[in-house]
Amino acid sequence: MLNLSLKQLSQNLNDKTFSSLELTEFFLSRIKKYNKQLNAFITIDESSSLSMAKMADDKISKGEHKPLTGIPIAQKDIFCAEGWRTTCGSKMLENFIAPYNATVIQNFNDIDAVNLGKTNMDEFAMGSSNETSYFGSVKNPWNLDCVPGGSSGGSASAVAARLAPAATGTDTGGSIRQPASLCGFTGLKPTYGLVSRYGMIAFASSLDQAGPMAPSAEDCAMLLNSMASHDHKDSTSIDHKKEDYTTNLNHPIQGLKIGIPKEFFGDGLNASVQKIIEEALDKYKKLGAELVDISLPNSDLAIPVYYVIAPAEASSNLSRYDGVRYGYRTKEYDDLMDMYFKTRQEGFGEEVKRRILIGTYVLSAGYYDAYYLKAQKIRRLISNDFKQAFKKCDVIMGPSAPSVAFGSGEKKEDPLAMYLQDIYTISTNLAGLPAMSIPAGLSNNLPVGLQLIGNYFEEGRLLNIAHQFQLSSDWHLKIPEGIS
Amino acid sequence: MTISQDDIKKIAYLARIKISQDESILLEKKLTGIMNLIDEMQKIDTDSIEPMSHALDVNQPLRKDEVSESDIRKKTMPLAPEAEDYLFMVPQVIE
């Protein structure tokens, strides 16, 4: 069960080689064995998972089997799942039991996939190392002294260690792709609006997007089939025609034009990461693709722009945590104001408070034009760069992250060094484009991810391009030693 | 751009977050560092550029103003830190 793809798991369930109950028990036992070391899960609810598995087995025995029916999936703790504790990695929501399902969760429930548990994450998805979680940092299964990346670090650690056959994540500035890169598996951030944000706890609403995290592109295609849906409960959800993302995986990629942005190969990129990325690009050439030089001239402004827009939206979104309707409330207070102030002081962690303060500052009277409006204008320039680039190529490739996984604590006290982790991923969130990270090799026994950026709604094509690479490489199947 | 102790006091008030003296001193350096990073934006002229507020320039759809889920109080009120008779309890605001 450990090394089977989602497609193989699904076939085995349908053939009754094993049941969903057996499969779910298998992964729950792995979680029991390894979670102490990895801290990948915040909440496990065995009885809920097992009763979902029994329901799935019931459906399968009646012949009502769908591709993900009975498959256990780890859910990032940012998605509300009815009856499940949903913390978003924060003390503020430590005891919050979600009263309804996020659309992503509902979509999985509708086909009787099994919720395997809620995974650890940076607090309110703010971080690139999973060290800002109120529930403790997560470890990288490739090296327990290293971070798994973030913010979807728990999902990443769980998939890499095969504590789950697949997981969900969210990506506001790289939070699916950077951990997928650092933990050595496949992660996809879809086009903004393809997956509903309803019930997904908000960080920066114009950038947040949920997506699949799993060993292979084929797995991600199956997951995206369930995750993507038009949703009236999310006003930014896009009414895009339903696609089957598994259909075109086997298309040949002869003649594919791959754009190589020179800005992604400059200072700051680790030399051994660069070498592995270049080897991966050579492999694509052997598969019949052509490399084209392109430029994304405003790339260096992506981080400054992001650290205006994301904190601005976060400061607004997180104003809802006031200790009145749900979540944490301070124990002692003199009056209403005092209650607000202390609740938010005690309920939020350091990084979250920093970002709320930055967001408040850039939106405050007198500064709005200089910061927020300016950032929105440069956001347009960054988006236009991609439009120009896609006139010359079909897909853009480069590194997902500037380095392999770094040591725990190494960047924790230096927010600026941490922010640079997302230097290659942030611009696609600003533009709203789909992008993936796929395993491309190992450097010092730590994974390196290749990033693929596509044009709007070209998830199917990206998955096809990734799948073709994975048919002739086995980096995505590597499991860290000491885990199997 | 330097963030001063006065700036921190002002924005912490706007954000309704209590900040201790020690925290405020640490924040001064970190917030100034972040603002210097952000100030990189000022090097480029954006006078004629239309701001982009959304990842995809699409219209916001409207739906019919109809009740979809009625009376969810039984589900949501137990989540409140303090509630009575389906009312949220807060410290007295009006004398």
- pLDDT by position in tens, chain A (length 484): 999 999 999 999 999 999 999 999 999 999 999 999 999 999 999 999 999 999 999 999 999 999 999 999 999 999 999 999 999 999 999 999 999 999 999 999 999 999 999 999 999 999 999 999 999 999 999 999 999 999 999 999 999 999 999 999 999 999 999 999 999 999 999 999 999 999 999 999 999 999 999 999 999 999 999 999 999 999 999 999 999 999 999 999 999 999 999 999 998 999 999 999 999 999 999 999 999 999 999 999 999 999 999 999 999 999 999 999 999 999 999 999 999 999 999 999 999 999 999 999 999 989 999 999 999 999 999 999 999 999 999 999 999 999 999 999 999 888 888 999 999 999 999 999 999 999 999 999 999 999 999 999 999 999 999 999 999 999 999 999 877 6
Cα Rg, chain A, nearest whole Å: 21
How far apart (Å, rounded) are the C-alpha atoms in residues A16 and A14? 5
- Residues A361, B11: C-beta atoms closer than 8 Å: yes
User: In a 10 Å sphere around its CB, with 0-12 CB exposed, 13-18 middle and 19+ buried, how is residue A153 labelled?
Assistant: buried
Q: Does A198 touch chain B (CB under 8 A)?
A: no
Whether A76 is catalytic: yes
Query: What is the interface size between A and B, counted as CB pairs within 8 Å?
Result: 165
Residues A181 and A475: beta-carbon distance below 8 Å: no
ipTM for the whole complex = 0.96
Assign A114 to helix, strand or coil.
Answer: strand
Q: Does A303 touch chain B (CB under 8 A)?
A: yes
Distance in Å from the first CA to the final CA of chain A: 11
Give the residues across from A41 on adjacent strands. Answer: A119
How far apart (Å, rounded) are the C-alpha atoms in residues B4 and B90? 33
CA max distance for chain B? 57
Residues A303 and B37: beta-carbon distance below 8 Å: yes
Identify the pLDDT of residue B64.
85
Residue type for position A421? Q
Which of B3, B17, B88 best tests the A interface by mutation, with the highest count of A CBs <10 A?
Answer: B17
CB neighbours of residue A58 within 10 Å: 13
Residues A424 and A264: beta-carbon distance below 8 Å: yes
- Burial track A254-285 (b if 16+ CB lie within 10 A, e otherwise): eebebbbbebbeeeebeebbbebbeebbebbe
* Residue ranges of domains in chain A, CATH in brackets: 6-255+457-477 (3.90.1300.10)
Residue type for position A407? G
Q: Sorting pLDDT into bands at 50, 70 and 90, what band is B1?
A: confident
Q: Does B7 touch chain A (CB under 8 A)?
A: yes
Identify the pLDDT of residue A484.
62
- Residues A193, B55: C-beta atoms closer than 8 Å: yes
Pair of tokens at residue B1: 């751009």
Chain A residue at shortest CA distance from B20: A345
Residues of A in contact with B92 (CB under 8 A): 335-336
Identify the pLDDT of residue B60.
75
Whether A133 is catalytic: no
DSSP state for residue A97 in the 8-state scheme: B
CB neighbours of residue B25 within 10 Å: 12
Q: Alpha helix locations (H) across A364-419?
A: 374-389, 415-419
* pLDDT tens profile B23-58: 999 999 999 999 999 999 999 999 999 999 888 867
Residues of B in contact with A431 (CB under 8 A): 55
Q: Alpha helix locations (H) across A326-373?
A: 336-347, 350-363
Pair of tokens at residue A48: 């809920």
* Residue ranges of domains in chain B, CATH in brackets: 5-43 (1.10.20)
Pair of tokens at residue A129: 């190392």
Instruction: Indicate the residue of B34, B46, B82 with minimum beta-carbon distance to A358.
Output: B34
Residues A288 and A253: beta-carbon distance below 8 Å: yes
- Sign, CA torsion A2/A471/A195/A352: positive
Please give the backbone phi and psi of residue B25, each rounded to the nearest 5 degrees, phi first: -65, -45
Instruction: Indicate the residue of A239, A326, A431 with minimum beta-carbon distance to B55.
Output: A431
User: In a 10 Å sphere around its CB, with 0-12 CB exposed, 13-18 middle and 19+ buried, how is residue A335 labelled?
Assistant: exposed
Q: Does A316 touch chain B (CB under 8 A)?
A: no
Residues A163 and A120: beta-carbon distance below 8 Å: no
Residues of B in contact with A334 (CB under 8 A): 91
Can you list the positions of beta strands (E) in A427-469?
Answer: 435-443, 446-453
Q: Does B48 touch chain A (CB under 8 A)?
A: no
Please give the backbone phi and psi of residue A324, each rounded to the nearest 5 degrees, phi first: -105, -55
Long-range contacts of A94-98 (CB under 8 A, 24+ apart): A94/A134, A94/A328, A95/A328, A96/A326, A96/A327, A96/B79, A97/B79, A98/A199
Cα Rg, chain B, nearest whole Å: 22
Identify the pLDDT of residue A482.
78
* pLDDT tens profile B50-60: 999 888 867 77
Residues of A in contact with B81 (CB under 8 A): 323-324, 326-329
Residues of A in contact with B37 (CB under 8 A): 303-304, 307, 416, 419
Which B residues 53-72 touch A at CB under 8 Å? 53-56, 58, 60-61, 63, 72
- pTM score over 0.90: yes
With left for phi above 0 and alpha for psi between -120 and 50, is residue A83 left, alpha or beta? left
Using CA atoms in the order A120, A200, A221, A269, what is the torsion angle rounded to 10 degrees? -60
Q: How far is CA A339 from CA A184, A334, A356, in A?
A: 44, 7, 18
How far apart (Å, rounded) are the C-alpha atoms in residues B16 and A321? 10
Kindly give, in sequence order, each residue whose CB lies less than 8 Å from that of residue B21, ignoring residues fewer than 6 positions away: none
How far apart (Å, rounded) are the C-alpha atoms in residues A209 and B19? 32
Residue type for position A254? Q
3-state helix, strand, coil in chain A (%, to 5): 40, 15, 45
Identify the pLDDT of residue A110.
98
Q: Which of A5, A10, A66, A76 is catalytic?
A: A76
